[in-house]
């Protein structure tokens, strides 16, 4: 059977294991699990590493379990976070869970005969506990010294924000999850980002203590770009897998804009492309970097995986139009189609025709204030129909409206807004 750990190592998806014994264990099918918090109604590209991890294990012939954190999501994992999280209501978590499950179901094969995937929700077993029972059954087996020594706890204790008892307890719940899956599913390995190390080892320890068995943990590196930013955010906004939250276009663009220094590494991490093919791409990139073959391959592959061929086509089409230069000759209908996934706003005719640029740009939601638009115009970063506007006091004229009903405004290089006249 394929060696999953070797594959992960080759692809830059390996950080650490709790014990080298894992290699022997993986010679036979081993149930593997990873947890996902329903912090929002959709997973983000930041969750991608873990998803890929599970997928690689499944491809190597191991049954995998995706744990949706219906219970843990209500507490908030302090790992890697500098401040206390806002608590989510039960309803919120339930709602988010639906989306998260939907996302996960796209990556994992639930019908595999040899290594089927499965989704479980830890609320199903955590919800039954009373506080007293949990303390007796689980809390009893944890030592304060160990708990306080965890990196996630220490970091927070040293920070200004401090930490609540609620978040501090998080590791107990995650440890119990592992124990539960060990008992019920024969799960022997938990995987997660390296920030999960403390939580994972808590589970491994608990299993050893209560069941006398050896469970394993494996972590992935936290993926950062070459400037040290955690992967998965643009301008502080997470990139979601759900196209209602991050459009096909934005999703595609996120990957197209990957820096040269990161793109080959990302191809290994986020796609299943064979390594020799990636090397080939790297060679071509070195020869002609301006063609941006690697970025395109990455963006195409990712978008196709998440949004299918149709989603990819929409994203590519929009990118061509927007970065292709002139919009000369475009029909309103074409624009509307191309921009189906780009922010758009419908505005009444009388507010547009002869409306000042400043007012319309704000009304369209492109900029927050008129001052911002004014600044943009004077800096030369404001465009209508891809033509630079230089007069902040200018007004929209009739001939700017394509077919009398559509207008494309652009702030800077990459923020577009389609204005539809109604």
What is the SS3 string spanning 162-173?
A: CCCHHHHCHHHH
Sole binder of RNA in the list 190, 295, 385, 386 (CB under 7 A): 295
DSSP-based helix, strand, coil % in the chain, nearest 5? 50, 15, 35
- Helix or strand holding residue 119 (H, E): strand 117-121
| Number of chain residues interacting with RNA (CB under 7 A) | 38
The structure tokens listed for 345 are 């706003």
Binding to RNA by residue 387, rule CB under 7 A? no
Q: Is 298 helix (H, G, I), strand (E, B) or coil?
A: helix
Decide if 221 contacts 15 (C-beta within 8 A): yes
Q: Report the nearest approach of RNA to the CB of residue 409 (Å).
A: 13
Binding to RNA by residue 21, rule CB under 7 A? no
Determine the number of helices (DSSP H) and then strands (DSSP E) in the chain.
Answer: 19, 13
Decide if 382 contacts 389 (C-beta within 8 A): yes
Q: Report the nearest approach of RNA to the CB of residue 200 (Å).
A: 26
Binding to RNA by residue 376, rule CB under 7 A? yes
Sole binder of RNA in the list 91, 111, 160, 276 (CB under 7 A): 160
Q: Report the nearest approach of RNA to the CB of residue 271 (Å).
A: 18
**Which CB atom, from 220 or from 252, has the smaller least distance to RNA?**
252
State which of positions 218-257 bind RNA (CB under 7 A).
227, 229, 235, 253, 256-257
Binding to RNA by residue 354, rule CB under 7 A? no
Rounded to 5 degrees, φ, ψ at 221 are: -70, 155
State which of positions 310-339 bind RNA (CB under 7 A).
319, 323
**Which CB atom, from 3 or from 237, has the smaller least distance to RNA?**
237
Binding to RNA by residue 45, rule CB under 7 A? no
**Which CB atom, from 95 or from 292, has the smaller least distance to RNA?**
292
Which span sits near RNA by CB under 7 A: 17-25, 100-108, 346-354, 370-378?
A: 370-378
**Roughly what angle, to the nearest 10 degrees, separates helices 260-270 and 48-59?**
40
Which DSSP category does 75 fall into?
T
**Which CB atom, from 18 or from 295, has the smaller least distance to RNA?**
295
Which span sits near RNA by CB under 7 A: 3-11, 45-53, 185-193, 361-369?
A: 361-369
Residue with tokens 């995986």: 305
Sole binder of RNA in the list 9, 106, 331, 414 (CB under 7 A): 414
Q: Report the nearest approach of RNA to the CB of residue 288 (Å).
A: 9
Binding mask 270-289 for RNA (x = CB under 7 A): -------------------x
Binding to RNA by residue 259, rule CB under 7 A? yes
231 alpha carbon, distance to own chain's centre: 8
CB neighbours of 214 closer than 8 A, spacing ≥ 6? 19, 21, 204, 207, 208
Sole binder of RNA in the list 380, 397, 404, 422 (CB under 7 A): 380
Binding to RNA by residue 370, rule CB under 7 A? yes
Residue with tokens 């692809």: 11
**Which CB atom, from 126 or from 163, has the smaller least distance to RNA?**
163
Binding to RNA by residue 213, rule CB under 7 A? no
Binding to RNA by residue 186, rule CB under 7 A? no
**Which CB atom, from 16 or from 369, has the smaller least distance to RNA?**
369
Taken in order 150, 151, 156, 158, the sign of the CA dihedral is: positive
CB neighbours of 228 closer than 8 A, spacing ≥ 6? none
Binding to RNA by residue 395, rule CB under 7 A? no
Binding to RNA by residue 114, rule CB under 7 A? no
Which DSSP category does 29 fall into?
-
276 burial type by CB count under 10 A (0-12 exposed, 13-18 middle, 19+ buried): exposed
Binding to RNA by residue 362, rule CB under 7 A? yes
CA distances from 229 to 196, 207, 234 (A): 18, 35, 10
CB neighbours of 363 closer than 8 A, spacing ≥ 6? 345, 347, 351, 355
Pairing of strands 64-68, 31-36: parallel
Sole binder of RNA in the list 348, 371, 403, 404 (CB under 7 A): 371
**Residues forming the site for RNA (CB under 7 A):** 157, 160-163, 227, 229, 235, 253, 256-257, 259-261, 289-290, 292, 295, 319, 323, 358, 362, 368-372, 374-376, 379-381, 411-415
């Amino acid at each position: 059977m394929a060696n999953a750990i070797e594959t992960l190592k080759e692809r830059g998806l390996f950080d650490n294991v709790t014990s080298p014994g894992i290699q022997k264990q993986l010679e036979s099918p081993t149930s593997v699990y990873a947890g996902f918090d329903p912090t929002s109604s959709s997973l983000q590209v930041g969750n991608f590493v873990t998803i890929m991890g599970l997928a690689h294990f499944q491809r190597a012939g191991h049954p995998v379990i995706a744990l949706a954190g219906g219970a843990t999501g209500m507490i908030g994992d302090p790992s890697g976070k500098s401040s206390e999280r806002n608590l989510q209501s039960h309803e919120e978590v339930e709602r988010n869970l639906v989306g998260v499950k939907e996302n996960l179901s796209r990556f994992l094969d639930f019908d595999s005969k040899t290594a089927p995937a499965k989704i479980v929700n830890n609320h199903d077993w955590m919800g039954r506990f009373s506080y007293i029972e949990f303390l007796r059954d689980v809390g009893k087996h944890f030592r304060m010294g160990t708990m306080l020594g965890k990196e996630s706890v220490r970091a927070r204790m040293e920070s200004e924000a401090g930490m609540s008892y609620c978040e501090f307890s998080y590791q107990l719940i995650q440890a119990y999850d592992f124990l539960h899956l060990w008992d019920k599913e024969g799960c022997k390995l938990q995987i997660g980002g390296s920030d999960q190390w403390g939580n994972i080892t808590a589970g491994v320890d608990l299993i050893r203590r209560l069941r006398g068995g050896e469970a394993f943990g494996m972590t992935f590196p936290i993926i950062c770009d070459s400037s040290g930013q955690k992967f998965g955010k643009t301008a502080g906004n997470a990139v979601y897998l759900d196209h209602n939250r991050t459009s096909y276009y934005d999703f595609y663009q996120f990957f197209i804009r990957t820096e040269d220094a990161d793109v080959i590494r990302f191809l290994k991490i986020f796609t299943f492309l064979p390594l020799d093919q990636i090397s080939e791409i790297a060679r071509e990139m070195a020869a002609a970097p301006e063609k941006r073959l690697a970025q395109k391959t990455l963006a195409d592959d990712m978008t196709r995986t998440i949004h299918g061929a149709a989603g990819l086509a929409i994203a590519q089409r929009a990118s061509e139009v927007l970065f292709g230069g002139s919009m000369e000759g475009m029909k309103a209908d074409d624009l509307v189609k191309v921009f189906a996934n780009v922010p758009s706003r419908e505005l009444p005719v009388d507010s547009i025709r002869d409306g000042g640029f400043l007012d319309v740009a704000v009304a369209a939601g492109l900029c927050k204030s008129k001052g911002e638009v004014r600044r943009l115009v004077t800096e030369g970063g404001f465009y209508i129909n891809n033509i630079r506007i230089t007069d902040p006091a200018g007004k929209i004229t009739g001939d700017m409206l394509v077919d009398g009903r559509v207008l494309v405004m652009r702030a800077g290089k990459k923020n577009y807004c389609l204005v539809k006249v109604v």
